[in-house]
Structure 1
Amino acid sequence: MALAGVGVDMLEISRMAAAMRRHPNFLRRLFTDEERAYCEASVRPAEHYAARFAAREAVLKALGTGFSQGVGLKDVSVGRTEAGRPVCLLSGRAKEIADAQGVQEVALSLSFTHELAVANAVAMTEAVRPKLDEAPDPAEELRASFKKARSLIDELERLQDGIRDTLEGGAAVRDVRSQSPKDE
């Protein structure tokens, strides 16, 4: 079992727009009701459809299957969090395959220009999935940095004291040597 799978896919938006014009039922067969509602509400629906199709391909590449092994056209879809971040939604055979691989989450990133839609997907198992409780504690990091700084200051003070003792001891020796018997 892999720890993580990575998939990337690109699609020319003009190809999606052409498919939408030529095959009106294409969108209903390929995209969920939620995806269609989201894309149709945008100014340029073809960009959003293309990004979602690229996401399907990227996710299936991350799982290592492509549209094979019984994976259906709607087994991978794109939802959105309340904040608007795209999320991968798995169902059917794609979910079965992901579960069998130990995939806990598929991180998804979508981008597009006027010409291209790009999707990146990372299928993560428990071994590589970031843990919330592993996030650094800012207060603990600050305490640790103060402790390191105090340690450095203490070491510098010890060195300074040692240098001062050496210089003062050397000065006393020079003073004794420079005195002549007459000076006593």
Structure 2
Amino acid sequence: MAVVGVGIDVVDISRFEDALRRTPGMVDRLFTATEATRPVASLAARFAAKEALAKALGAPGNLDWHDAEVVSESSGRPLFSLTGTVAARAAELDAATVHLSLSHDAGIASAVVVLES
């Protein structure tokens, strides 16, 4: 296996919460219905994850945010469910495995994504 992409992103949770308050439709644009039920710190981490994934994929402008859903295994381990535009871009890069790490602490949410062939 070879690394075909790496992405990282950080989000200030209070700024993200302010943005969600100012722009109520933002939640629907960025998150699936399941993701949208999570608390704001978790949403900020998921937004960071989607941004990190876009960077790892080369930041093409045609990705649909709903095509990259952050889900959790029963253990709590986060992972991506890729569909549509995001799955197609991952296939173009031969990215067979997507590694995801999330964190939120001290007012900051962060995510790292590594794509492997």
Mapping of 1:47-62 within 5 angstroms?
47-62=41-56
Partner of 2:87: 95
Q: Structure 1: where are the runs of 5+ without partners?
A: 40-44, 126-184
Q: Greater relative contact order: 1 or 2 (C-alpha under 8 angstroms, separation 6 or more)?
A: 2
Aligned partner of residue 100 in structure 2, secondary structure? strand
Name 1:84's counterpart in structure 2.
76
1 or 2, which has the higher helix percentage?
Answer: 1
Cα RMSD after superposing both structures: 1.4
The aligned counterpart of 1:10 is 10
SS of the aligned residue for 2:71 comes to strand
SS at structure 2 position matched to 1:103: coil
In structure 1, what residue type is equivalent to 2:57? L
- Stretches of structure 2 that go unaligned for 5 or more consecutive residues are none
Q: Give 1:22 shift.
A: 1.2
Q: TM-score, normalised on structure 2?
A: 0.91
Q: Greater CA radius of gyration, 1 or 2?
A: 1
Would you identify which runs of 4 or more consecutive aligned residues in structure 1 move more than 4 Å? Answer: none
Larger proportion of strand: 2
Amino acid at match of 2:27: L
For 2:69 and 2:11, how far apart are their aligned partners in 1?
16
